[in-house]
Structure 1
Amino acid sequence: MNKKRILVLSGFILIAALSRVFPHPYNFAPMGAMAIFGAAYFTNKKLAILLPLLAFFVSDLLVNNLLYSGFYGGFTLFTPGFYWMYGSIALIVLAGFLIMKKVNMKTIIGGSLAASIIFFLITNFGAWLGNPMYPQTIEGLMMSYTAGIPFFHYTIAGDLVYSGVMFGAFEYAKFKVPALQPIK
C-alpha cells in the first residue's frame, strides 16, 4: 500500500469537495468528478467508494450548516433525500470502475458525462418520489426530469471542469513525484 499516494488522492477529493462552499452556479460541483477520480486511481475499491462519500458528507455539513443554515433552521446532519445523492455518487464510482480502467482524455470525458447523466437520473427520480408536488405517475416523473433540465448543463460543466483539473493535476503530480505511482 502506497500511503503517500492514498493521502494525496484523498486530499484531491477533499479539496474538490470543500470547493462547494465557494459561490458557484447551482449544480456546478465536483461530485461526479470526485467519484470517477476515486474509481480511476484507488486500487482499493472500498476506499474508492468511501472517500468520495466521506468528502461529500464533510462538505455537506459545511454547506448545509454554514451557507444554508437559515433554510434548515438549525444543525442539519443530512438533507431530505440525501440518500439519492449519496447513492448516485456510489453508483458513479461503480460505473467509473468500468469506464476508467485506463486514464486518458476519452475516458475522462466519457466518465464525466456518464457521471452527470447518472447524477441527473438518480437525483431527479428521487425528487419525483419524495416530493408531493409531482404526481406519482410517468407524467410526474417526466415533470421532475423536465424541472431538472435547466440545471443539467451546470452539472455537465462542473463534472468536466473538475475532472480536467483533478486528473490533470494528479497526472502532473505523478510525473513530478514518482512515489505517487501505484505499487505493482
Structure 2
Amino acid sequence: MFYLMILAVAASRFLPHPPNVACVAALGLFAGSYMSGRRAYLVPIAVMGFSDVVGQMLGIPGLGFYNLVAMAMVYLGMVASVPIGRLLRNASGKSRLWKVPAASVAASTVFFVVSNFGLILAGWYPLSVAGFTACYVNAIPFFGFTIAGDLCFSAVIFAAWELSQARFRVPAVAQA
C-alpha cells in the first residue's frame, strides 16, 4: 500500500497543473515521516528523476532537463523536505494534525530559498544584491503556488495514509 501511494502521487506530476504545484515536497515529508534510513531520501530524487526523464522524452512542458546547476538545486530543495518530515515522526494524535501543515509550509519555504538560489548560481540572475532581489521577488508568485500545492498534497497524502492505517489495522487481540 505504501509504495502504491508513492507511485500514485508521483504519477500526478504528469497531470496538468499550475507551475510549482507539485507533490514531490509533500512526498518527501511523507517519506521522511514514515520511512527509515536513507531510502526516504531516494523517494523525492526518484520521483523527480523519473518524471524529468519521461518529461524530456515526451516533450512535456515543465518536465525534463535544463541547466544542471539549477536542476541540482531544485532536487536539493525537494530532498530537504525529508529531514523536515523526520521531525513529524515523533508527533502523534492532535499535535500531528497541526504539525503537518507547519512542516509543509517549512518545506515550501526551504524549497523556495534553495531553488531560487540555484537560479542565481546558474547565472540566470547576476551575483549581486540587485540580482538576488530580482530573483526572489520574481519568484514570489511561484512561492504561493508551491505553498498551496504542498499544503493540499500533504493533507491528502497524510490523511489517506492515516485513514488506511485506521481502516485496515489488525487489532492487537487478533495478532496473538
Q: Which residue of 2 aligns with 1:169?
A: 160
Contact 2:24 2:47 in 1 (8 A): no
Aligned-pair RMSD on alpha carbons?
A: 2.0
Q: Greater relative contact order (Cα 8 A, min sep 6): structure 1 or 2?
A: 1
Q: CA deviation at 1:139?
A: 1.9
Percent identity between the two aligned chains: 32
Q: Which residue of 1 aligns with 2:66?
A: 79
> 5 Å matches for 1:26-41?
26-41=19-34
Q: CA deviation at 1:51?
A: 1.9
Q: CA deviation at 1:64?
A: 2.9
Letter in 1 for 2:129: I
Aligned-partner Cα distance in 2 for 1:101–1:85: 28
> 5 Å matches for 1:111-130?
111-130=103-122
2:13 alignment partner, one of 5, 12, 20: 20
Classify 1:79/1:45 alpha carbon distance in 2 versus 1 (closer, same or farther; 3 Å): farther
Q: Map Cα deviations across residues 82-136 of structure 1 (whole Å, 9 max, x no partner).
A: 211111122221222124432522111011101110110000010111134x211
Unaligned runs of 5+ in 1: 1-7, 180-184
Q: Which residue of 2 aligns with 1:53?
A: 45
Three-state SS of the structure 1 residue aligned to 2:44 is helix
Q: CA deviation at 1:49?
A: 1.0
Unaligned runs of 5+ in 2: 171-176
Contact 1:21 1:62 in 2 (8 A): no
If the length of structure 2 is used for normalisation, what is the TM-score? 0.85
Letter in 1 for 2:5: F
Letter in 1 for 2:86: F
Letter in 2 for 1:102: A
Q: Which residue of 2 aligns with 1:91?
A: 80
Aligned-partner Cα distance in 1 for 2:2–2:77: 21
Letter in 1 for 2:66: T
If the length of structure 1 is used for normalisation, what is the TM-score? 0.81
Q: Map Cα deviations across residues 15-69 of structure 1 (whole Å, 9 max, x no partner).
A: 2121111111001111210110111111x22121112221221122223332437
Contact 1:100 1:111 in 2 (8 A): no
